[in-house]
Every structure is written in structure tokens, then in C-alpha cells.
């Protein structure tokens, strides 16, 4: 049995928060069940409301109940105010006051260290959470964790936990990671997977999560389902690969195959999957634009049409989303599977909260960590050169001479140049499978 306690506090008398309750509810939603609806965590949701106050007493009792009941994994999630000062680190409760803030983290970690549950996970989405667990009486950089206890914090010790319209940035990324974005090929998601995923995508926001852990083995927090079933893999891999997979499967089914051989075969199959996924990714181009600049999107689509027809390139923009589809999910999937991004930059582009908060961070992070090619096209006079992140990429055209200021012939020359540049980057020799 896995047990979870999910705490979210919005309603403070001083400095009320907006998204903590929403974040706790999201975490309960994703942790309670695996992809196949099988039970995962038995979650207790504890959130503030007009009729329910989270006090020191109720907080302490809930945490004690969590850690004193032996189970497979005990998970504590907290979203609310965090406080760190010379007296220690504190979860701020609704009845907290000056010099009596709430529950000390030292009290919680002591319960965790004494718990009979082997694996304990504490997740903190609050300001200054990176210092939680560091014992001030010893040294700010030291922590005492028994084997099996882990703490995943949203920030470094001196950082605020940031939000956007979806909620806390850290919790939003955790939710996405647990939904499958950080899963291995079998669909398993560990705490280390979540940490790696969040670290990469939070980099452009200048927020750094912290993982403190004393583990002898990794364990899955959720299963989001296999990324690629054998049937789907074979149907998308081509006849040669399909035959080789059939051969591997026959070998696995052979009772004479040793455990070591099966392990080797599994690695080989994963290499096949990664190769196919990699080749598909190399052809996809993501186009980010403001809807007010749609006419330029259409010209780019026209210039790339011959390359699309020949199978050299596959472009993705939000016009690909069909009625009834989850548009955010579709955009997230396209961002992950593209290795070239065209940015149609204008004042409207830079003013778009959705682009700046949802599309640019993963693109910039992917450019830094995975080599995604970013191709800015300046379509209108704007603050491109003043933007530190965007101006680090070489624009296709002169930023002082945006597309809208050029003649029709000059505009078409820029779009032609773009199409040729993309083709050169995508046409690379591949080994036959």
C-alpha cells in the first residue's frame, strides 16, 4: 500500500496565496491511479477553505498519522507558505503568528526518520524550500536522512517558488512528469526522473529544484503506461526493423535464453525504439507565432510545402489541432518531438503570455540541453534585441529590417532562405536499419 498526504493552503490572514489548493488537488488526481486505473496512492487531501482551517494541531496530527502507519511508500506533498530564519525552517499554518509560525520541518523530518515505512518522499512547493532539512545548529549544508528518505524541493534556499496561470510552476511540471512526460519506456516514473525533468524546464525561469536523498534503490511513484507498445512500434518502424523485432521476441520466448541474454535483448529493443523516435524527431519543425501574425505563418507553410511533399520535413503549428482535442497536450507533445523551432517574432509575439510562459521555456531549455535549433524571424519592429534569451540566437533576417518593412520580393527571399536552411539541417545521412 502507498499512502499520500497532500496539503494546500491558500487562505492565510496575511499574504493569501492563489494556487496552492489547486496544486494539491492536481497532485491527488495524478497520484491516486496509474494509467490503467489501478490504485496507486491512497491519498488524503487536506486543503484550506472558508470552513476548514489547517492549524498546527491538524497539520501535526495528519503528518503523524502518515508516518506512523507502515506502508510501501509514504508521500507528503506541501504547497503553501514556507519560512526559513535563524530559528529553523517552517511550514506556515493558518493559525501561525510572529515567532510561532507553524510546524518546524525538523519535527517532520524527525518523524520521517523514525517511521517504519521504508520509503518516504517529501515534496515541497514553497519559497526557500531548498533549505528545508538543513539543520542550522550544525551547518546549513548538512542534513540527516536515514536510508529511504528523500526530499524534493521547488527552489534553492534563497529563491521564491514561481507561479503562472496554471498554478505553481514546479507542481505543474511535476504533474506533467507524473502524467508520462518523464517516464521510461515501460511508463515508470521515479523521483529522480521528476527532478531531472523539472530541473531542465525550470532553467529559463531561474528557479532550481533541489533533491536530497538517501536511497539504495529507485522506486516508481506512478506508471503512466508504456510509451510504445510492440505492436505500435512494429507498425511504425518499417519492415526491416519489424523482422528484427520478431527475431528478438522469438529469442525471448525461447526457454533456453538466460536472464543475462534477456537483459541484453531488452537493451537492444530500447535502442531500436530510441533510434526510431530520434529519426522521427529529426524531421519535425515547430512554428511558434502570434495569431495576429498568421499571414506570415501561411507564407512559411507555402515555402516549405515542397520539402513536406518529399518527406524531408514535417511542420507543426497550432492549426494542426482539431476540434475537441486537448490543445495544451498537443502543443506539449509537438514541443518535445521537434528539433527545429521557427519563431515569428513581433511585438504581439513578445506580448503573448501563453507563448512566453508555455512555449519559450521548453524550447530554450531544449536548445541549451539537446541542441534544438532556434530560427527567429523578425516579422515586425519589437524588443527582440533587448531580450537576453532570444537575441542569443541568430535571426534569419536583419532585426532592423523586419519582414513587414520589406518589399514583397524581399519577403519571399527571406522565406526561401529559411526553407533552404531548414532542408540543409534536416538532410543528413542515416544508416539503414
Taking 70 as the threshold, does the pLDDT of residue 355 lie above it? yes
Q: What is the pLDDT of residue 368?
A: 82
| Residue 3's pLDDT band (cuts 50, 70, 90) | very high
Task: Give the angle subtended at the CA of 176 by the CAs of 334 and 352, to the nearest 5°.
Answer: 60
Residues whose CB is less than 8 angstroms from the CB of residue 395 and which lie 6 or more positions away in sequence, other chains included: 345, 376, 377, 378, 384
Per residue in 296-321, pLDDT (tens digit) is: 999 999 999 888 887 778 888 887 77
Taking 50 as the threshold, does the pLDDT of residue 433 lie above it? no
pLDDT cut 90: percent of the chain above it: 46
- Could you count the other beta carbons within 10 Å of the beta carbon of residue 193? 19
Mean confidence (pLDDT) of the chain:
83
User: At 411, is the secondary structure helix, strand, or coil?
Assistant: helix
Taking 60 as the threshold, does the pLDDT of residue 87 lie above it? yes
Say if CB 394 and CB 362 are below 8 A apart: no
Task: Give the angle subtended at the CA of 211 by the CAs of 79 and 145, to the nearest 5°.
Answer: 95
The listed range with the strongest mean pLDDT (79-93, 229-243, 354-368, 373-387) is: 373-387
Taking 70 as the threshold, does the pLDDT of residue 374 lie above it? yes
| Residue 66's pLDDT band (cuts 50, 70, 90) | very high
Q: What is the CA radius of gyration of the chain?
A: 25
**Distance (Å, whole) CA 199 – CA 194:** 8
Q: What is the pLDDT of residue 327?
A: 65
| Residue 290's pLDDT band (cuts 50, 70, 90) | very high
Q: Which residue has better confidence, 139 or 182? A: 182
User: At 42, is the secondary structure helix, strand, or coil?
Assistant: strand
How distant, in Å, are the alpha carbons of 32, 121, 407 from that of 39? 6, 18, 62
| Residue 324's pLDDT band (cuts 50, 70, 90) | low
Bridge partners for 364 per DSSP: none
Average pLDDT score over residue span 218-245: 67
Q: What is the pLDDT of residue 266?
A: 57
Per residue in 257-283, pLDDT (tens digit) is: 454 455 555 556 666 555 554 444 457
Say if CB 40 and CB 31 are below 8 A apart: yes
Residues whose CB is less than 8 angstroms from the CB of residue 140 and which lie 6 or more positions away in sequence, other chains included: 131, 134, 157
> Residue 133 has what DSSP assignment?
T
Q: What is the pLDDT of residue 256?
A: 47
Per residue in 186-207, pLDDT (tens digit) is: 889 999 999 998 988 887 777 8
Task: Give the angle subtended at the CA of 224 by the CAs of 222 and 229, to the nearest 5°.
Answer: 140
**Distance (Å, whole) CA 141 – CA 138:** 9
**Distance (Å, whole) CA 422 – CA 427:** 9
Residues whose CB is less than 8 angstroms from the CB of residue 170 and which lie 6 or more positions away in sequence, other chains included: 125, 154, 155, 161, 162, 198, 202, 207, 209
Amino acid at each position: 500500500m502507498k499512502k499520500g498526504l497532500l496539503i494546500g493552503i491558500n487562505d492565510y490572514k496575511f499574504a493569501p496565496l492563489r494556487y496552492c489548493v489547486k496544486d494539491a488537488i492536481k497532485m491527488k488526481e495524478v497520484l491516486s491511479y496509474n494509467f490503467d486505473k489501478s490504485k496507486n496512492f491512497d491519498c488524503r487531501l487536506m486543503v484550506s477553505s472558508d470552513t476548514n482551517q489547517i492549524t498546527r494541531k491538524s497539520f501535526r496530527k495528519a503528518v503523524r498519522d502518515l508516518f506512523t502507519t507502515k506502508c510501501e511508500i509514504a508521500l507528503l506533498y506541501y504547497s503553501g507558505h514556507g519560512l526559513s530564519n535563524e530559528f529553523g525552517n517552517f511550514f506556515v499554518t493558518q493559525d501561525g503568528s510572529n515567532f510561532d509560525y507553524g510546524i518546524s520541518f525538523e519535527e517532520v523530518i524527525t518523524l520521517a526518520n523514525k517511521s517504519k515505512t521504508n520509503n518516504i518522499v517529501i515534496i515541497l512547493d514553497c519559497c526557500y524550500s531548498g533549505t528545508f532539512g538543513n539543520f542550522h545548529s550544525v551547518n546549513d549544508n548538512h542534513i540527516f536522512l536515514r536510508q529511504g528518505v528523500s526530499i524534493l524541493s521547488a527552489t534553492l534556499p534563497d529563491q521564491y517558488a514561481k507561479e503562472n496561470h496554471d498554478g505553481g510552476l514546479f507542481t505543474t511540471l511535476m504533474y506533467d512528469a507524473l502524467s508520462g512526460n518523464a517516464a521510461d519506456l515501460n511508463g515508470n516514473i521515479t523521483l529522480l526522473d521528476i527532478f531531472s525533468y523539472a530541473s531542465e524546464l525550470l532553467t529559463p525561469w531561474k528557479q532550481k529544484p533541489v533533491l536530497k536523498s538517501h536511497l539504495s534503490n529507485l522506486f516508481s511513484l506512478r506508471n503512466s503506461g508504456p510509451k510504445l507498445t510492440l505492436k505500435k512500434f512494429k507498425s511504425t518502424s518499417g519492415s526491416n526493423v519489424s523482422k528484427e523485432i520478431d527475431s528478438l521476441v522469438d529469442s525471448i520466448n525461447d526457454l533456453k535464453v538466460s536472464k543475462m541474454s534477456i537483459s541484453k535483448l531488452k537493451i537492444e529493443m530500447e535502442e531500436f525504439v530510441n533510434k526510431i523516435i530520434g529519426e522521427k524527431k529529426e524531421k519535425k519543425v515547430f512554428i511558434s507565432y502570434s495569431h495576429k501574425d498568421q499571414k506570415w505563418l501561411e507564407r512559411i507553410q507555402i515555402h516549405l510545402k515542397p520539402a513536406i511533399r518529399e518527406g524531408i520535413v514535417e511542420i507543426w503549428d497550432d492549426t494542426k489541432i482539431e476540434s475537441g482535442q486537448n490543445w495544451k497536450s498537443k502543443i506539449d507533445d509537438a514541443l518535445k518531438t521537434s528539433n527545429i523551432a521557427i519563431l515569428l517574432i513581433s511585438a504581439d509575439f513578445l506580448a503573448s503570455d501563453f507563448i512566453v510562459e508555455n512555449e519559450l521555456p521548453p524550447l530554450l531549455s531544449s536548445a541549451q540541453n539537446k541542441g534544438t535549433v532556434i530560427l527567429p524571424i523578425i516579422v515586425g519592429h519589437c524588443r527582440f534585441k533587448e531580450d537576453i534569451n532570444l537575441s542569443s540566437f541568430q535571426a534569419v533576417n536583419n532585426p532592423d529590417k523586419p519582414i513587414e518593412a520589406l518589399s514583397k520580393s524581399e519577403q519571399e527571399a527571406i522565406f526561401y532562405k529559411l526553407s533552404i536552411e531548414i532542408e540543409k539541417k534536416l538532410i543528413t545521412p542515416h544508416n539503414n536499419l
